[in-house]
Amino acid sequence: MAATKRSSGGRKYGKAAGKSVKNAMHRRKRGTLKRGKAGHGGTVTSRKQAIAIGLSEAREKGAKVPRKRSTKRASTKRSTAKKSSSKRSSAKRSTGKRSTAKRSTARKSTARKSTARKSTARKSTARKSSARKSSARKSSARKSSSGR
């Protein structure tokens, strides 16, 4: 991995990070680089994925690697025209964001609703099966009484 330098003169990635990426690339070429935590996801064939795995391993070891890009940063790279239009639209709807507390209570309520639905579904199937059993008993009783 080439040493990418910043304008200030420092390295963006540490030497240890470069080594771990190099190691990951060699493992990919040999076919021993695996996907997933336990390595049960199959072998990695993509060069980009091998680099990503090498960098994540370097992060775990504590090497100098920049943070992963968050989704917020990607949205800040928009053009200025789009920014100004989004500011106008955000002024119109100021209550667009929900708080985390509200989200968690909403999740809880949906979980309760789903469990309630499951229990009512079970009850209805139980009723249907008991109705079938009783109708079967009645029909068998009719047959036995008419046969006598």
pLDDT of residue 43: 93
**Residue where a domain terminates, one of 31, 51, 66:** 66
Verify that 55 and 116 share a domain, yes or no: no
Number of domains in the chain: 2
Q: Is residue 80 part of a domain?
A: no
- pLDDT tens digit string along 23-73? 999 999 999 999 988 888 899 999 999 999 999 999 999 999 998 888 765
DSSP helix/strand/coil, 121 = helix
Q: 108: which 2 tokens?
A: 């809880």
- pLDDT tens digit string along 91-105? 555 555 556 666 666
Residue pair 16/59 in contact by the 8 Å Cβ criterion: no
Q: What is the pTM of this model?
A: 0.43
pLDDT of residue 8: 74
Residue with the two structure tokens 């049960």: 40
Query: Smallest Cα–Cα separation from 51: which of 74, 71, 26, 30?
Result: 26
Q: How far apart are CA 106 and CA 99, in angstroms?
A: 11
**Residue-number span of the structural domain to which 132 is assigned:** 109-148
